[in-house]
Structure 1
Amino acid sequence: MPEGASARITQRQDEPQHLNRLLAYSRDYQIAHRWRRARALGTFALAAVGPFISLFIPATTDLVAAISAGWLVLGRTLLTGMEQRATHHATRVQELYDTNLFHLPWNTALAGRKPAPEDVAASARHITDDSKHRNWYSVDLGTTPWPADVLLCQRQSMVWSRQEHRAYSATILTTGVIWFIIGLVIALMRDLSLADYLIKIFLPSAPAFLDTIELARQHWQHANARQQAEHKIDDLWQAYTTQPDTLTISNCREVQDAAFLLRRDGPRVPNLFYKLRRARSEANTKAGTATLLAGDNPGDAPN
């Protein structure tokens, strides 16, 4: 990249070679979500139906308890393993998308070898409607030169995800608490003993309770980790506005390394939740970027 030139990210991102990589990693994430959805649906079904079967058909209590225990093991081994496998492949394709779009070097030590172009093309072919994937980095970069324009796009991604994970953590924790209270109310209404409550209501719901607590914690910790990376970006931006020469491509590569690890190892927000909040999150990140370009302190940008 010539010094002081723009990477033209907002224009180039919809070119076929970049758009296909975006479609490919979106497809791979869809596969990961399917494994997560299968686990969640099974857990929810046991939590919702299991207690009622045990209450109204007492002879099935032991069977329901055994199925709940078996599903807990299956969900946390096979299904979770398949989800992680798909996620790891998706993050590598997403890294390929970002590094080519941002003109960043590929970090082989971190991400391994680049995904094969045939695999990328095969995944991209599954998405025929690309309208929702255009203008992916939607912040107004103005005339910001490279690599500062890269840093702004990295910040949009980091802030957007941080907000989604924090909101989802609160949502699933609230849902779990409400479901737990409903179980207690049913037990009190039917005057169940503690043993009957544990066997007939709590045990079938245990996988759901464990997932709720674990997921809420994981998403909250992930949001905090993203916020730390966001603070690093804000510090780099502040230094850049004072002395532009201080921002180097190595700084952006360090931010990209952090983003890759967070994507690879972090929990996923369901597509439906993301879609419901997309307009709000996009508006927030656009306003935040506008605030930075106006010269205000990053701490004053919308969160």
Structure 2
Amino acid sequence: MTAEAAKLPVPEGASARITERQDQPEHLQRLKAYSRYYQLAHRWRRARAIGTFGLAAIGPLLSLLVPSTSELVAAVSAGWLVVGRTWLSWMEQRRTLEAVRAQELFDTKLFLLPWNGSLAGRPPAPDDLAAAARAIKNDGPYKNWYSIDLSGTPWPADVLLCQRQSMVWSRSDHKAYGTTILVAGVGWFLIGLVVALVADLSLAEYLVKIFLPSAPAFLDSLDLSRLHWQHATSREQVQHKIHDLWRDYKAGTTVLSAADCRQIQDSAYLLRRDGPRVPQLFYRLRRSRVDESTRAGTMALRADED
């Protein structure tokens, strides 16, 4: 055995046993902590969304029924726009960072990759992870997290396939959610126009009574749809890099190293940290379908290279 081989976390040619190890208590705890932190982040996002779309729905109605409230509704809408994009966004980002670091610890420990302190800072404290994980009582949704077939795939190629499943899954969710948001925003805008036409409002009346109260919702829908599509494109670029590494690995033209996987992990961390969020309900509604498609995609990738 060479000195370099002796430093490997697994025997040369062996797998990391990701499928078996990922359901061990310490890994499930990190996943549950990650989920809890995201739940808290989504609460702040939900508060912002409820206020934004509540004003978009109630504001125009109130302005039409009680015209004297038009200026007050417009002022409240403008104030909420500022609060939502500053304080509420900051609170959401704070919890999101905790979630991303917990997920990074789960991945690096499971994948047997080194922690990148220059990128992610210090790993989360075990006490904090344990406290967050206690809020999640059911382990079921977190078992078999990486569901693809890894049989016969040595480390770190098994890591690369898991990174691919995560990247493809998120790309699909972000693209679909961006489209959903845009359709909802355009639909609400059209409803406002129809109401203005039916009520025979002047342009000034439409702007004050309908458009201004709805403006935060319009802006959020446009911004979020753009951000989600851009994020999906960024994930697709990393996916292409993963495919290139896999192709070269299977062709034997290069040796796939832990450093290669660490670079992919760095990209995943930054995308999780800086990217927009997909609501958990949207994720759950699509989970079965996307899980099936990513497993089929991995099977096709492996079959094409055999």
> Is 1:5–2:2 an aligned residue pair?
no
> Is 1:224–2:233 an aligned residue pair?
yes
Letter in 2 for 1:102: F
Give the alignment partner of residue 102 of structure 1, picking from 92, 111, 122: 111
Moved over 6 A (4+): none
CA contact (8 A) 2:248 2:254 kept: no
How far apart are the structure 2 equivalents of 1:55 and 1:127? 45
Match of 2:270? 261
Letter in 1 for 2:261: C
Q: Any idea what SS the aligned residue of 1:115 has?
A: coil
Give the alignment partner of residue 157 of structure 2, picking from 148, 170, 177: 148
Match of 1:289? 298
> Is 1:67–2:67 an aligned residue pair?
no
Match of 1:174? 183
Give the alignment partner of residue 34 of structure 2, picking from 17, 22, 25: 25
How far apart are the structure 2 equivalents of 1:285 and 1:138? 9
How far apart are the structure 1 equivalents of 2:55 and 2:121? 39
Letter in 2 for 1:56: L
Structure 1 position 296, deviation (Å): 4.8
Letter in 1 for 2:239: E
TM-score of the superposition, structure 2-length normalised? 0.96
Match of 2:132? 123
> Is 1:132–2:141 an aligned residue pair?
yes
CA contact (8 A) 2:250 2:305 kept: no
> Is 1:58–2:60 an aligned residue pair?
no
Structure 1 position 133, deviation (Å): 0.8
Q: Any idea what SS the aligned residue of 2:304 has?
A: coil
Match of 1:191? 200
How far apart are the structure 2 equivalents of 1:128 and 1:272? 18
Give the alignment partner of residue 247 of structure 1, picking from 256, 264, 287: 256
Give the alignment partner of residue 49 of structure 1, picking from 37, 58, 74: 58
Structure 1 position 44, deviation (Å): 0.9
Give the alignment partner of residue 90 of structure 1, picking from 92, 99, 102: 99
Q: CA RMSD in A?
A: 1.0
CA contact (8 A) 2:33 2:130 kept: yes
Q: Any idea what SS the aligned residue of 1:197 has?
A: helix
1:51-72 deviation per Cα after TM superposition (whole angstroms, max 9, x unaligned): 0000010011111111101110
How far apart are the structure 1 equivalents of 2:129 and 2:253? 36
1:244-296 deviation per Cα after TM superposition (whole angstroms, max 9, x unaligned): 75210000000000000000000010011111111110011000110112125
**Percent identical residues:** 66
Q: Any idea what SS the aligned residue of 1:129 has?
A: coil
Gaps of at least 5 residues in structure 2 are 1-9
How far apart are the structure 2 equivalents of 1:6 and 1:12? 11
Gaps of at least 5 residues in structure 1 are 298-303
